[in-house]
Chain A
């Protein structure tokens, strides 16, 4: 059994831009801003960075392919730089590579930077998937959108657990209301307004049963993490944040090609969560995880993630959301920064934006949103669709 990544790498600096419809900022601006905050936070020099990883997803409307846009923009001095693309898991995956680069001993300091400009398409929603599926899939897959693919999980969840559309919609609406409450406190988030359940329920339908407020926004943004070895971390930082687990689970294809999947959960989240808890030595996540940033691309996604990450028992997410478990002042605050719901989802940046919030919270530097005495924070990204997904889970802690 491999030892895992626990306590072998620490985060010593992070940066995150304001997210939003940044019509006047280019990807270059966003990269420079996120990197500038991170390197100042780490207190190191650019020449100390031994490897870098760039995460972007929709390269055609963003910076294009390869890692060159990052090295060129930041004027990185001929170091190894790789581009990571794994749908919505891209940001966390780039972070994972940076940690592995350090843990392998190939460099002392590594960096992960995610950036996405989504607002240069000329229309709302994520870029159309027309070109991204490959020549065979686009002949046989429906012309789907992200809300549609996740809405199908809501339909199935409601059916499996006997919720009427009204009951189901109300249960998931509370997820968005909770996140908006936290996001309203965050100067870096895209959306700053609190919303009510009634507003969520009466919003226009995007893809039945998901309405406008069940969907996260689409925005531009960038985030950056600098990681290093334990020795360096202790030298350079007064409060390094320790990497406890980094897991990635990619579908075997069985959810769609075989018939064993129930359609009301995400198998890759469950699998990546199990492995992450094992790597981090977490025995009882509901008791040990202090806060979470999960992939709330849609309210239903966050809702089933509570169950898939074994925080809520199967079919019981509704009870936990009703009891306030995930509120900022609850037992396990979820999306203390407002989540994708309030930040929007510049794909390549989101995973690193989540780590940024956990990092700040674990350092006690989250300002108005600061939660009490957090010890372990978890981030979760879900790429693809529930029926064929790739999931990343990271666990970070403030004690080695």
Chain B
């Protein structure tokens, strides 16, 4: 049996009410009034597809040994690097082993399902025992466009394996077409699109049914027996029409999360699939379609194991863990859509020493410190001489990963002088449960949310963006612990 053994989600904390977009830009395009409902998830200024993929991957691995993952695929159309594989940064942050196969899967919004199929094929063939797929996107739409209301930021992750499968892979059907509904040339920031009516009538309503019909024909599964139909189309009327036309039960159509999240690009189908699995009962058949440069339809059958698949934030947890972004301008600045007066202080960007980064990769990307075998004290960054004044042992250290550990606020400040895209810059010192202390940036919080001793978790974030030298630099920040 091959299939999904775990799933994870990540939806950024900030949600922008669409009516704020329309209030700001409706003067330019009054036809967008119909789109000004609900809210969309917006990545914080220090998030991108890499960091969101890490967050979804952590949610998916929750408590599982990363050393067991033998392949990793990152699907996205908004990756920071064209060369320097983005998947390798994510896999290092997730502490996956180095001896694995990694790939960026990109260029189409259905890249997530293609990555899933590759992962399942490699597990089925026996070449790897377990593969992780993360999909994440932070696509931008121009100010005043309809897509600005639709595009959202988010990520999802699926762990594929042959043991303890919670949703068994049944079959898939892929179709590939150069159907250019959207396009974005290398180096461009925004999508270009063709007419919506053409996209709907000539694309969605023809290509998606072809993929769905293909997989149903292969498996001889009756559409009426599909419990959950995952169709990542932002317009729910179109999805309902499609389902009805092909004989699916209307109630099988999975909610498209437009009210609370939006269209998260490559992550969208996987996020909806995660939401479907989250609510599924053993025996449920889930049919997922993903759309982009053609379409792919995949059928999964939920197993008894799904009952045990709890303990993650998942889609529901992330939808609830939110804060409203209360102005449109802040969104434009976070997503770097308008030039901002950042001041001379912001111009001071030291170059990234890549030889240092390579030497310190476990520290910087994996948040590894060391623990003294003589006295047991965890310390960060890794030391050769124990910092415990009562110990001082030399070269008695073992590697110690802080990334998944909870910490408590030791002290903090909110700094108006330091450069930040979202001032004040909030940072502080945290003490880890089990020992160890770190001085870190805090993010996803306001100063009013903080107090000494409150619990924090570690989150992988973009630490700086050095445009001059084409570098996105990453490290970990502390975020207030969400949930129980």
Contact = CB atoms under 8 A, between A and B. Distances in A.
Interface stretch (B83-91, B234-242, B284-292, B342-350): B342-350
Interface residues of B, number: 50
Given A121-B344, A147-B417, A140 B436 contact: no
Interface in A248-277: 252-254, 256-260, 263
Given A144-B418, A387-B439, A254 B348 contact: no
Contact of A155 (B353, B412, B425): B412
Interface string B395-433: 000000000000000111111111110001101110100
B425 A148 contact: yes
B417 A140 contact: no
A208 interface: yes
B402 to A, nearest CB: 11
Given A130-B348, A148-B417, A254-B389, A143 B411 contact: no
Given A136-B356, A139-B475, A151 B387 contact: no
B417 A145 contact: yes
B424 A140 contact: no
B360 A207 contact: no
B54 interface: no
A123 B344 contact: yes
Contacts of A131: 348, 350
Among A139, A142, A263, max chain B CB count under 10 A is at A142
Contacts of A206: 415-417
B411 A208 contact: no
B414 A142 contact: no
Contact of B424 (A155, A208, A258): A208
A145 B348 CA distance: 13
B387 A252 contact: yes
Interface in B348-379: 348-350, 352-353, 356-357, 360, 363-364, 377, 379
A152 B414 CA distance: 9
Contact of A207 (B353, B415, B452): B415
Contacts of A209: 413
B248 to A, nearest CB: 51
Interface in A168-227: 204-210
Contacts, number: 137
A208 B413 contact: yes
A203 to B, nearest CB: 12
A128 interface: yes
A150 B379 CA distance: 22
A234 interface: no
A151 B429 contact: no
A125 B344 contact: no
B389 A208 contact: no
A258 B437 contact: yes
A151 B415 contact: yes
B425 A263 contact: no
Interface in A142-172: 142-145, 147-148, 151-153, 155-156, 159
A23 interface: no
A259 B350 contact: no
Contact of B389 (A135, A139, A252): A252
A367 interface: no
A205 B416 contact: yes
Contact of B387 (A140, A142, A156, A258): A258
Contacts of B223: none
A135 to B, nearest CB: 4
A379 to B, nearest CB: 27
Contacts of A125: 345, 417
B324 interface: no
B441 interface: yes
Interface in B436-484: 436-437, 439-441, 447, 452, 463-464, 473, 475
A137 B345 CA distance: 19
B477 to A, nearest CB: 8
Contacts of B282: none
Contact of A257 (B344, B364, B380, B420): B380
Given A143-B441, A153-B411, A387-B439, A258 B417 contact: no
B387 A207 contact: no
A254 B429 contact: no
Given A123-B345, A152-B428, A259-B431, A159 B411 contact: yes
B96 to A, nearest CB: 21
Nearest to B378: A259
Interface in A285-326: none
A140 B345 contact: no
Interface residues of A, number: 43
Nearest to B478: A142
A105 interface: no
Contacts of B447: 208
Nearest to B418: A145
B429 A152 contact: yes
A135 B353 CA distance: 6
Nearest to A264: B411
A138 B348 CA distance: 12
A159 B452 contact: yes
B225 interface: no
A144 B416 contact: no
Contacts of B429: 152, 256, 263, 387
Among B380, B414, B440, max chain A CB count under 10 A is at B414
A141 interface: yes
Given A142-B440, A256-B439, A136 B360 contact: yes
Contacts of A257: 379-380, 383, 387, 437
A155 B363 CA distance: 28
Given A148-B415, A208-B447, A252-B387, A139 B380 contact: no
A153 B364 CA distance: 26
Among B350, B352, B411, B463, max chain A CB count under 10 A is at B411
A151 B348 contact: no
A140 B344 contact: no
A253 B387 contact: yes
A395 B261 CA distance: 64
B345 A128 contact: yes
A260 B435 CA distance: 11
A273 to B, nearest CB: 18
A143 B418 contact: yes
Given A139-B463, A143-B420, A258 B389 contact: yes
B381 interface: yes
Contact of A148 (B353, B389, B418): B418
A263 B418 CA distance: 21
Contacts of B417: 124-125, 145, 147-148, 206-207
B219 interface: no
Nearest to B410: A263
A63 to B, nearest CB: 20
A143 B425 contact: yes
Contact of B377 (A124, A148, A204, A258): A258
B2 to A, nearest CB: 39
Contact of A258 (B356, B379, B473, B475): B379
State the 9 A-B residue pairs at the shortest beta-carbon distance, nearest first.
A148-B415, A257-B387, A151-B413, A142-B427, A135-B353, A156-B411, A207-B415, A130-B348, A135-B356
18 contacts: A123-B344, A131-B350, A136-B356, A136-B363, A139-B463, A140-B381, A142-B418, A143-B427, A145-B417, A152-B412, A152-B428, A207-B415, A208-B447, A252-B387, A254-B387, A257-B383, A259-B437, A263-B410
Given A128-B348, A152-B429, 18 more contacts: A124-B417, A131-B348, A136-B381, A139-B475, A144-B415, A148-B425, A153-B411, A207-B413, A207-B424, A208-B413, A208-B424, A254-B387, A254-B389, A257-B437, A258-B387, A258-B389, A259-B435, A263-B410
